[in-house]
Structure 1
Amino acid sequence: MKCIALALALTPLAGAAAADCAGQPGICEISGGEYHIALPEGAQRPVPVVMFLHGYGGSGAGTMGNSRMVDALKARGYAVIAPNATRRRNGNRSWVFFPGWEGRDEAAFLRDVMADAGDRFGVSKTDTVLAGFSAGGFMVNYLACSNPGDFEGYASISGGFWRPQPESCAAPVRLFHTHGWADKTVPLEGRYLGGKQFQQGDINAGLELWRDTNGCETHAPDKAWQDGTVLRRRWVCGEGADIEFALFPGGHTVPNGWADLMLDWFEAN
């Protein structure tokens, strides 16, 4: 398990934003777990929302500590929800994303978080993005595959599928995948973990599965361009079925400017 911990470790995040329950001290608690939430100033209900899943060994408080990302999302009028994963056998928090693992029903838990936040804080049930980094990014992919209707958009950073990856997914999705060219923790080609007990999958193989799921007529992108140092590719395969891939020159991290990049994509359709 030590190798898995290293493979999915959460990169330290900048800033020291308050981690609380919409301005109230402490954490929001529901029967299945805990979450933090931050609301934008002056937002009218229902408030659009980005739920962000932390990486291995991280926490919702750590997500909220990334003030640069959280402030950028709030500045665009979005609430930010940061749930806690459960603690695994080695004491670190992580998500139960791989089929066959024992633990919390994550899809049900995140639906309960959204329902609770909607009732208590007026967040939208339709203008929703599920995003995540590293282990949280893997969780995003698996939930998008098995429960595509739970969120309007899905945004994964440095996470795809593990081998064997799913043979098919339930329905088309809107997916924004961001990855670092120099990522050694989750390489684009994948790698073995835990003495070859587990294998991260190839990111491009995962994108091929998404193109098949979305019914794309061709694997060639509809558009490929460079935005500063970020290389971008896009497939538009029908209503509610688009994929964008943003490849930045860094490593295993949430890149600067990701919040605006992702929301520009989400709001354009």
Structure 2
Amino acid sequence: MTSHLRSSMAAMAAVLLVSTTAVAAERGITIDTSDGPRHALVMTAGRTPQPTVIVLHGALGSGAGTARTTGFAEAAAAHGFAAVFPDGINRKWNDGRDGRSGGPDDIGFIRALVRQLVADGTADSRRIYLAGISNGGMMSFTLACKAPELFAGIGTVIANMPEGIEPCAARPLPVVMINGTADPMVPYRGGEVGLRGGRGRVWSADRTAEFFARRDGCGARQAVALPHRDLASDTSVTQLSWRDCQVIGGVSLYRVEGGGHALPGRRPLAPRLLGPSNFDIDAAEVILRAFDLARTL
């Protein structure tokens, strides 16, 4: 048996293990907003109110598709979280890159969604977390800046802080980032978004993480190379952590060396175009585990 086959079987076994956790209930909800009715898929496991993670899909994605394919639904259930998957208008989020104005009021929508989740008894208002992928990750940073009182922590995958978002009123909170150094869509070192640019600009991953580390009052950064399990892959993961912070969990940046615009732990959609994925970590599990451990001092 080849090392690639062994590692692939191990990854599948891990996914199957998490997937056996029962999701007690699944329902759709509709929120009336200034942009018309907005929708979200809600999954709960066990008694409510629960700690809750709101997961924002990437551009051209959907809430239901993200629930099916990213592992966040299973990871949330395994850790006793409710998981909520809202839909962006026209399958994207208005994250405010380059200070752009106009467009859907996605900040207002997420505020209203949080109010509804608390009012209907789904969410524990003290433990509402935000996760986002790509465009959804950039929207997560925008929400951390513009609606900081709503969330107890954020996690992002293949996303950096949008340029032009200042002033940012982010408060101390645990932050988990997962970024590929060879991402052709959202450049690790910052700059123009998109394969050919032209989709606004973002900060670098390092600058984004360091911004939150300062907000969290963190000390020095440390770097640890994580175990390389998928020997058939040229990618690997270095965890950069800022410790001695005002919040338990602090800030972590999982730097996927050679990783592309892909969700670690999941098959890449178009590896020749967007670059490879990595199977040393599972992005959803890394983020939910951090949220489960996080407690604000």
Interval containing the TM-score (normalised by the shorter chain): 0.7 to 0.9
Matched with 1:6 is none
Change (3 A) 1:196 1:117: closer
* d(CA) in 2 for partners of 1:237, 1:145: 22
Matched with 2:286 is 261
Spell out structure 1 runs of 4+ moving beyond 4 A.
193-197
Q: Which letter maps to 2:94? A: V
Percent identical: 26
Change (3 A) 1:39 1:67: farther
- Give CA-to-partner distance per residue, 1:215-259, whole Å, 9 cap, x none: 33x5x40x3212224211111353337211112243212211222
Does residue 115 (structure 1) correspond to residue 115 (structure 2)? The answer is yes
Q: Which letter maps to 2:146? A: S
* d(CA) in 2 for partners of 1:153, 1:172: 9
Tell me how large the CA RMSD over aligned residues is.
2.7
* d(CA) in 2 for partners of 1:61, 1:110: 17
Please report how far the alpha carbon of residue 148 of structure 1 lies from its aligned counterpart in structure 2 after TM superposition: 1.9
Please report how far the alpha carbon of residue 130 of structure 1 lies from its aligned counterpart in structure 2 after TM superposition: 0.2
Matched with 2:3 is none
Which of 237, 243, 246 matches 1:239?
Answer: 246
Q: How does 1:103-142 map to 2 (within 5 A)?
A: 103-142=103-142
Which of 28, 33, 37 matches 2:42?
Answer: 37
Q: Which letter maps to 2:283? A: W
Contact 2:70–2:263 (Cα < 8 Å) also in 1 = no
Please report how far the alpha carbon of residue 260 of structure 1 lies from its aligned counterpart in structure 2 after TM superposition: 2.2
Name the TM-score, length of structure 2 as normaliser.
Answer: 0.72
- Give CA-to-partner distance per residue, 1:77-118, whole Å, 9 cap, x none: 11110011112xxxxx21111133213332221121122223
Aligned length: 240
Q: Which letter maps to 1:150? A: L
Matched with 1:225 is 224
Contact 1:132–1:139 (Cα < 8 Å) also in 2 = yes
* d(CA) in 2 for partners of 1:260, 1:231: 16
Contact 1:142–1:161 (Cα < 8 Å) also in 2 = yes
Unaligned runs of 5+ in 1: 1-13, 88-92
Unaligned runs of 5+ in 2: 1-14, 20-24, 229-236, 266-281
Please report how far the alpha carbon of residue 174 of structure 1 lies from its aligned counterpart in structure 2 after TM superposition: 1.6
